[in-house]
Amino acid sequence: MNYPQNLDGLRWTKDATTRAGYLIFDRPPLNVISFAARAQIAQLIAAMDEDNDIRVIVIRGAGDIGGFLKVPRDGMHDLAWNVAAPERAKKPVIAAIEKWAMGVAFELALACDFRLVTESSQLALPEVNLGMTPGSGGAVRIAHLAGLTRAKEMIMRGRRLSAREALDWGLVTEVVPEGKLDEAIGCWVNDLAARPAIALTGLKRILNSTYDTPLHVGLELEGQIFEKLRPSPEFRHGVESFLAKKKPDFTQF
């Protein structure tokens, strides 16, 4: 695996027991994500996606404003590609948000499969307050997830959402009590890591395509992936375990 070196405000680790890989924002006090770190985030996620010791990826932490003015013209038109790394990953990616996620941190979380937040979390794309628009896919993803009317009201006013409002809108997966985020991460990691990786990859591809393809194309993709996975050892093991009334162990594959 080609893990990047000389990380800019980032660090990573992996847990051999749970088989989780952790990408951690580590620039106190606000864990800002620099422009340079965006490419490193994409590289780290790609490396974890190819690491056989990792079955689930977790992103933790909470953007550098002044640095954006120093980048040459047309130097930032592709920001969404780096931030979309969790979406491209074959493995499930969890975003864990404590307190707040603003700007690119929220855009990165929106590209993940699951978003866990604490009760006091606040979420926003406040770029309009700087005379700018979101540039890393956040506006489009919120419109897809929450609907165009809600997206316009939130983003065009630069408004912050509470954790509960974001849950009601379908922007987050779970709201957990303060101090319980680590416990919630552990539950999600254990659950996903115990499931068949090949089926999760197929499901992620199917579900991520639903907003981009007509219904008949989505149905065709779902059928093709089903047929591709039908001869897999994971499926055979699952069926045999079911018939034997045993709990399947997909971690052996």
Residues annotated as catalytic are 107, 127
Q: Are 55 and 23 in contact (CB under 8 A)?
A: no
Going from the C-alpha of 68 to that of each of 31, 215, 244, the distances in angstroms are 17, 40, 59
Closest by CA position to 63, among listed 120, 112, 105, 16:
105
- Would you state the structure tokens that stand for residue 213, as one six-digit string? 């393809």
Cis peptide before 29 (omega within 30 of 0): yes
167: helix, strand or coil: helix
- Would you state the structure tokens that stand for residue 203, as one six-digit string? 């499901």
Phi (first) and psi of residue 33, to 5 degrees: -105, 115
Beta bridge partners of 25: 10
Alpha helices in 134-214 (DSSP H): 138-146, 148-156, 163-169, 181-193, 197-208
Beta bridge partners of 162: 122
